[in-house]
Amino acid sequence: MERVQESSAGQVENDEESSTSESEYQHALEVVFDEDNAKRRKSSLVSSENPQLAQQTAKKRESTSCFVHQLLENQRRSRRSQSTIIHNEDRLCDKTPDMHNQAVHSRLLTKRQLSEMAVNVRELSKKLGSIRLKLKVKTIFLLTKAHDSDLIGLTRDITEWLLSKERDTLYTIYVENTLEHNRVFDVQGLISKDPSHEGRLKYWNNELCKKQPHLFDFAITLGGDGTLLYASWLFQRIVPPVLSFALGSLGFLTKFDYADYQDTLTTAFKDGITVSLRLRFEATIMRTQTARDDRMHDLVEELIGVEAENNLTHKPDGSYTILNDIVVDRGPNPTMSSTELFMDEKFMTSVQADGVCVATPTGSTAYNLAAGGSLCHPENPVILVTAICAHTLSFRPVILPDTVVLRVGVPYDARTSSWASFDGRERVELHPGDYVTISASRYPFANVMPQGSSSEDWIGSISRTLNWNSRQKQKSFKEWDEQTMEGMSGRSKQ
């Protein structure tokens, strides 16, 4: 195991990588991509973001780069020099948005850009699997189940330990704002033990996580897989490395025992961490601009046909970054839903079912599993599509590459609306003519892993939690030999 160590000058030294300044690995993970032509439908090219804010975000990219950013930047620059001629030849000047000055959604990327982004993530994931990142952690984000009194007590214990002056670093700890007046957490009791805790114990809310994700150097969760999913939901873009203590039911994603939290955190901060990059999806709701009662329109024609100039058929209405799955189902309707699937610019199929589950490899053991989908190792760069109770004998789950843009839409002639949910949250109604775009997000989820093989850990997880392929072993045959024959012969004579 190769280790990345911190030098006295505050830099990271690696035998194979060039020295990187301390500021380059102080923040979380974001994938960047080359500028290229955008050959997507115009309705998918509409951006709901403030252009000035987008430009500011692009300008800040280099100043907020982490160690991971630096690796990606080196790869991006080397590829840019090799592909400049091709990019210039393929550019469609009259239809290409200025991606350099905009915070572009992954649904707006071309096939080449999505492929390049995916390759960068895979190469980076391999590097991170063989090194230990030693981060200078100063600000820690703590997340727990705010309604569970037992977990609140454990959160108080770990907070008090981190705030102690016995630590090598005086950490600043952020806990959920609902704990400020919680009697079990007892903020006043913590401060009375050491008045210095007051200035280093702070509180986060959803807005802070959304607007200032770079504020946190490290995240710790206490709970189960649902708590980790909530952390992913809070950090819709930039995500600090997340270390999870298993205090839930199953624990596919929570790898550390809380009983050993002191040793675990001491080792993580002193010797470094191993990070697994988990693929996340970006999902955008696209609303039809056609009259609801106009059933003469065809969603297939709108999504694969050619639009007239300045006549956009759809506009975006909110984007979400998810770690597990997007589900489009019938919702409260008593009848099955009708949906249509599109892959890039091609129509795939129509689905008559209770719904459709589109899962990441991480989410393959969740709703996807219950719907009959495949189990998938989290390092596979794929999109899993599974119908929920399909009213057909021939529909089978399909696995698509993460370089495609998938669309799940409700046809104009559907009898009822459908409903979309994102990691089990934000239930949204999809009217006839609306659809959801799903693509690989350029903001992967950095999950801190124990030392060892991730493949062995994953197999152990599904065996332990799901009793995967658990069966009583078949008995072996007892071979006949001469002594056995003689014994049988003697008993027959008697």
Query: Quick check: 491 pLDDT over 70?
Result: no
Q: Could you list the active site residues?
A: 225
Q: Which pLDDT band holds residue 47 (cuts at 50, 70, 90)?
A: very low
Does residue 253 have a pLDDT over 50? yes
The conformational region for residue 389 under phi > 0 = left, psi -120 to 50 = alpha, else beta, is left
Confidence of residue 488 (pLDDT cuts 50, 70, 90): low
Residue 128: per-residue pLDDT: 75
> Which residues make beta-bridge pairs with 314?
288
Best CA proximity match to 407, nearest among 442, 436, 427, 365: 436
Residue 385 has pLDDT above 80, yes or no: yes
The yes-or-no verdict on residue 160 having pLDDT over 70 is yes
Burial label, 422 (beta-carbon count in 10 A; 0-12, 13-18, 19+): buried
Residue 259 has pLDDT above 90, yes or no: yes
Higher pLDDT, 30 or 245: 245
User: What are the contacts of 5-10 at 24+ separation with CB within 8 A?
Assistant: 5/134, 5/272, 6/134, 6/136, 10/136
d(CA 95, CA 92): 6
Q: How confident is the model at residue 71 (pLDDT cuts 50, 70, 90)?
A: low
> What pLDDT is attached to residue 327?
97
Position 112 pLDDT exceeds 70: yes
Confidence (pLDDT) at 303 = 85
Checking if the pLDDT of 34 tops 50, the result is: no
- Of residues 115 and 99, more confidence is placed in 115
Contacts of 101-106 with C-beta under 8 Å, sequence gap 24+, read 101/54, 101/55, 101/58, 102/47, 102/49, 102/51, 102/54, 102/55, 102/58, 103/49, 103/53, 103/54, 103/57, 103/58, 104/47, 105/47, 105/282, 105/284, 105/319, 106/282, 106/439, 106/440, 106/441, 106/442
CB atoms within 10 A of CB 383: 24
Mean pLDDT calculated for residue range 234-253: 89
pLDDT the model gives residue 264: 94
pLDDT given at position 218: 95
pLDDT above 90 covers a percentage of the chain that reads 46
Share of the chain above pLDDT 70, in %: 71
Residue 189 has pLDDT above 70, yes or no: yes
- Highest average pLDDT, of 121-135, 422-436, 442-456, comes from 422-436
pLDDT at position 86: 34
Mean pLDDT score across all residues of the chain? 79
Q: What is the pLDDT of residue 309?
A: 53
Section 146-161 average pLDDT: 93
Do the beta carbons of residue 455 and residue 296 sit within 8 Å? no
In which band, very low, low, confident or very high, does the pLDDT at 98 lie, cut at 50, 70 and 90?
very low
Q: What is the pLDDT of residue 134?
A: 85
Mean pLDDT of 203-228: 94
What pLDDT is stored for residue 250 in this prediction?
79
Burial of 372 (0-12, 13-18, 19+ CB in 10 A): middle
Closest to 67 measured CA to CA, from 279, 280, 273, 323: 273
Task: Give mean pLDDT, residues 1-25.
Answer: 40
The DSSP string of 307-321 is: PPTT--SEEEEEEEE
Confidence at residue 182, expressed as pLDDT on a 0 to 100 scale: 92
pLDDT tier at 262, thresholds 50, 70, 90: very high
Nearest CA to 69 out of 320, 235, 238 is that of 238
The rounded distance, in Å, linking the Cα atoms of 322 and 236 is 8
- How far is residue 484's CA from residue 121's CA, in Å, rounded to a whole number? 63
- pLDDT category at 7 given cuts 50, 70, 90 is very low
pLDDT computed for residue 62 by the predictor: 44
Confidence check: pLDDT of 102 > 50: no
Choose the weakest-confidence range: 37-51, 62-76, 81-95.
81-95
Q: What is the pLDDT of residue 471?
A: 82
Position 301 scores a pLDDT of 84
pLDDT at 51 over 90: no
Q: How confident is the model at residue 120, as a pLDDT?
A: 78
How confident is the model over 287-300, as pLDDT tens digits? Answer: 998 775 555 678 88
- The pLDDT of 291-319, averaged and rounded, is 75
pLDDT attached to residue 104: 62
